[in-house]
Structure 1
């Protein structure tokens, strides 16, 4: 027994663990490769006073090409009331353009590490260097609860390893004593005081200190209210730890929906509308064929699957799973960039393809992905037509594509198509003969000197400028034979004040930044 002193774990040779198993099945069946280290064993608590601690430390080295996840088994004896872990790793210099060391951390309890299993107890990615778990409390990102005896697993995620390799150190401290009173989660209610069938504004991609954000949940809720939002979705990375905090922060004026951003090695996706406390696993790549099962898990919970920022240029962020099983796609993430331009273009091409093939079409959404100041909550956000301000009705409106995306609550928009005495709105189909005249109308405000674009399966077919005051109505006539769908964009002018350059191979964006983007209105019999 080490008592209160730190012990060096002696099972390494030449910088490598001398007992290891490369797991392509078993521990993480069907998931990304994992490396299991020799276990840390702690003596029983007999003779240790309440509040006494014991600590052990493991050091090791990982070469480039290391497994996606490295598991350190920890044999926890009876009588432990808290487990605390800290870690560090080296960051050697690397040539320009070469990834340096980056390593995440999390933990699973005695229930095991099976993919999608019950053992998950927390994840902080690379945002924290230490965490602690006990019955009454836990570090943000981790789940409070009893520290039961058995084999726990500290998990390292070396998602970037420098050419020199990665040297790591993990320290585990157990505190003995009786459990304290259990933490009681306070989940948010499933409805707020809505206005019946109406348009509701909400940001569906937000982070807090419970993953890699710097904002407290109180600050995020206050920011959502300040942005004029009616609802928001909590989507901390890979953990539901914040779900039980949101209850007191919701209210009649703000619906808070629980979710998760699932950050795999081949792209990130939003699980919107999870049951409070529900966790979705992320430990897989596209080639592991595990993603469809977790998409089905979200659907069984009544939630939505949304590939996030599909063209994000950072490591492991670009979307590689395809769109089968997705309910929407996030085409606008934070301030408008080339990434968003590419995402909208891809979505539009897929929209035309799906309609031509008679498949269900995939609606678009936009979210702020705000983590910290100065990132703006609600830039952008979704404006969804829902039967009421409830979790189920908001999700249903989003899934049906009855929504548009706004950069702020200062942008107002109404988009309709009218023919033969009938009128429909965003996400609906106007079933008319192919040659029947259809009047498409967009009324917008809040975009000074903006440019309105009407886009169909043939591309842009109408463009018109808004006046200096930013408000106006644009009407365009077409037929279903010319347009299988019509969607609208409202753009700001370019930096030089011009409304946009159309199709161009120049060095600047062909259009100014997006101010608003609608889902399509479908035309024809279908």
Structure 2
């Protein structure tokens, strides 16, 4: 029953003839659930929770400033039902703030069986359609409550007016136990004047830089605006301590942090807006977004809409980068293919077998690109750091760019003029020279087919490291560094033998050995990665003569 401004709304959205019941005084009575398509993932919309009675209690006038009115919705979800549940909230005029809290049960499940996990976010009166401008925030499963007003918002949410109309609280039950999930959502509206508008402080698109040079940057980082525990200021401080020149902010599914980074950028640190887009079939990085731009994630591979959002990112000058493609977490494995990608993340955080597998897949794609004459996919490495003790800048990208500016850095990554380092203590230079010409990382050297090509790697910072020189034929040369970690490795080939050449620098194996030079061993054949280059391509200009 309704009393003291509180009303409960019960619904079972997975029963075919389920209905939603508002107690007396609610504006909407019994109604069948509406199943909607977003143009993407399957979703359900419940009957709306109305706050109209609150205004009626005051003879049609808005309730007095500070008055709070609450509605509560409870419901049940069966396993394997839908990706998203929309809970409409009818917001009347005169509302200053909307506050939402939620909870759900977590029954015990057998070992190996997913338990209940449910995300939450909200859309305003502008709608919930795929890519809608109505997006107002997302916190995933990291928070149990949030607030939005014109002046302020909980991290992960966008401040702005609480306009009248139909808002939607969105639940994302990405894991539901065999017993199902009982949920409870409480929405409170506070009446009053809207207050001063929030002022965003976006970061500048250019830092001081060193002109055309190599710049170090971590392009996959999280803050308290999604599921990270670091404040933006702590992330910026960590980037500076790691010797980075730039970072990309990639909080999950929200641009909320974009408007605070201006305070922490500076002549020595470029901060680039971005987003980690976490779909149900893999995560991807939208790098170099226009400040404040949001990219939708509510779709699966089978919905065939990923390319729409990839185009949106590129229209704004950004890059589309599949992230941690073999991550073992639910919904994290990459299922969208690479046709709409600009680069791919092959090394995420401390080196693991997932990264080994990702590098192998990327190398296979390089061979396919050479064979078919199609665009090749540059490799990236990022920390995906969320909180201590995860290390910002382990690993990061070293990008050759015309300056320390967003567009220049994005272009350097897009062109593959980059290599990956575990830390700023590792440096390298990698070139191929032949027939009077020279090419560096991401470039093409054109030479007669049988002309000798000298491949050179200068490296520093990997004591007792192992250098591997790899072509489309596989590993062709291996050499060890001494205790100083500094050395020069030379190897000769021809364009008739190698269509591309790339280099890896590995730490010793756990037993101190350099690793095996073939693929006949067990488990990992080499120690953890210290550095990884994008390829230099070799193109034959004339046919070989006997």
Normalising by structure 1, report the TM-score. Answer: 0.97
Q: Determine the C-alpha separation between the residues in 1 that align with 2:427 and 2:348.
A: 19
Contact 2:14 2:78 in 1 (8 A): no
1:435 CA drift (Å): 0.3
- The aligned residue for residue 23 of structure 2 is none
Q: Where do residues 131-146 of structure 1 align in structure 2 (5 Å cutoff)?
A: 131-146=146-161
Question: Secondary structure of the residue that 1:100 maps to in structure 2?
Answer: coil
Q: Where do residues 160-239 of structure 1 align in structure 2 (5 Å cutoff)?
A: 160-239=175-254
- The aligned residue for residue 6 of structure 1 is 6
1:373 CA drift (Å): 0.2
CA change 1:3–1:148 in 2 (3 A) is farther
Task: Output one character per residue of 1:388-438: Cα deviation in whole Å (capped at 9) or x when no partner.
Answer: 110000000000000000000000100011112211110000000110000
**2:277 equivalent to 1:277:** no
- The aligned residue for residue 132 of structure 2 is 117
CA change 1:429–1:12 in 2 (3 A) is closer
Give the paired residue count: 523
Contact 2:99 2:147 in 1 (8 A): yes
Gaps in structure 1 of 5+ consecutive residues? none
CA change 1:522–1:508 in 2 (3 A) is same
Q: Determine the C-alpha separation between the residues in 2 that align with 1:457 and 1:17.
A: 61
1:48 CA drift (Å): 2.2
1:2 CA drift (Å): 5.8
Specify which of 464, 472, 488 is matched with residue 449 of structure 1.
464
**2:2 equivalent to 1:31:** no
- The aligned residue for residue 77 of structure 1 is 92
- The aligned residue for residue 330 of structure 2 is 315
**2:433 equivalent to 1:418:** yes
Q: Where do residues 504-523 of structure 1 align in structure 2 (5 Å cutoff)?
A: 504=519, 506-523=521-538
1:67 CA drift (Å): 0.7
**2:404 equivalent to 1:389:** yes
Task: Output one character per residue of 1:303-334: Cα deviation in whole Å (capped at 9) or x when no partner.
Answer: 00000000101100000000011100000000
Which moves more between the two structures, 515-524 or 498-507?
A: 498-507
Question: Secondary structure of the residue that 1:132 maps to in structure 2?
Answer: strand
Q: Determine the C-alpha separation between the residues in 1 that align with 2:420 and 2:449.
A: 29
**2:513 equivalent to 1:501:** no
Specify which of 93, 116, 119 is matched with residue 101 of structure 1.
116
Which moves more between the two structures, 414-423 or 261-270?
A: 414-423
Question: Secondary structure of the residue that 1:294 maps to in structure 2?
Answer: helix
- The aligned residue for residue 368 of structure 1 is 383
Question: Secondary structure of the residue that 2:447 maps to in structure 1?
Answer: coil
**2:87 equivalent to 1:87:** no
CA change 1:20–1:349 in 2 (3 A) is farther
Task: Output one character per residue of 1:237-279: Cα deviation in whole Å (capped at 9) or x when no partner.
Answer: 0000000000010000000000000000000000000000000
Q: Determine the C-alpha separation between the residues in 1 that align with 2:96 and 2:245.
A: 41
Q: Determine the C-alpha separation between the residues in 1 that align with 2:358 and 2:375.
A: 19
Q: Where do residues 279-294 of structure 1 align in structure 2 (5 Å cutoff)?
A: 279-294=294-309
Contact 1:24 1:32 in 2 (8 A): no
- The aligned residue for residue 41 of structure 1 is 50
Specify which of 364, 367, 385 is matched with residue 352 of structure 1.
367
Question: Secondary structure of the residue that 1:246 maps to in structure 2?
Answer: helix
Contact 1:405 1:518 in 2 (8 A): yes
Q: Determine the C-alpha separation between the residues in 2 that align with 1:20 and 1:162.
A: 25
Q: Determine the C-alpha separation between the residues in 2 that align with 1:409 and 1:307.
A: 24
Question: Secondary structure of the residue that 2:369 maps to in structure 1?
Answer: helix
- The aligned residue for residue 306 of structure 1 is 321
Which moves more between the two structures, 3-12 or 442-451?
A: 3-12
CA change 1:4–1:223 in 2 (3 A) is farther
Q: Determine the C-alpha separation between the residues in 1 that align with 2:98 and 2:477.
A: 63
- The aligned residue for residue 25 of structure 2 is none
CA change 1:459–1:10 in 2 (3 A) is closer
1:47 CA drift (Å): 5.7
Question: Secondary structure of the residue that 1:311 maps to in structure 2?
Answer: coil
Contact 2:13 2:33 in 1 (8 A): no
Q: Determine the C-alpha separation between the residues in 2 that align with 1:121 and 1:465.
A: 54
Q: Determine the C-alpha separation between the residues in 1 that align with 2:434 and 2:74.
A: 72
- The aligned residue for residue 405 of structure 1 is 420
Specify which of 261, 286, 300 is matched with residue 246 of structure 1.
261
Q: Determine the C-alpha separation between the residues in 2 that align with 1:349 and 1:194.
A: 35
Specify which of 444, 460, 479 is matched with residue 494 of structure 2.
479
Q: Determine the C-alpha separation between the residues in 2 that align with 1:262 and 1:425.
A: 32
Contact 2:14 2:81 in 1 (8 A): no
Q: CA RMSD in A?
A: 1.5
1:524 CA drift (Å): 1.5
1:21 CA drift (Å): 3.6
CA change 1:244–1:171 in 2 (3 A) is same
Q: Determine the C-alpha separation between the residues in 2 that align with 1:383 and 1:249.
A: 21
- The aligned residue for residue 324 of structure 1 is 339
1:356 CA drift (Å): 1.0
- The aligned residue for residue 439 of structure 1 is 454
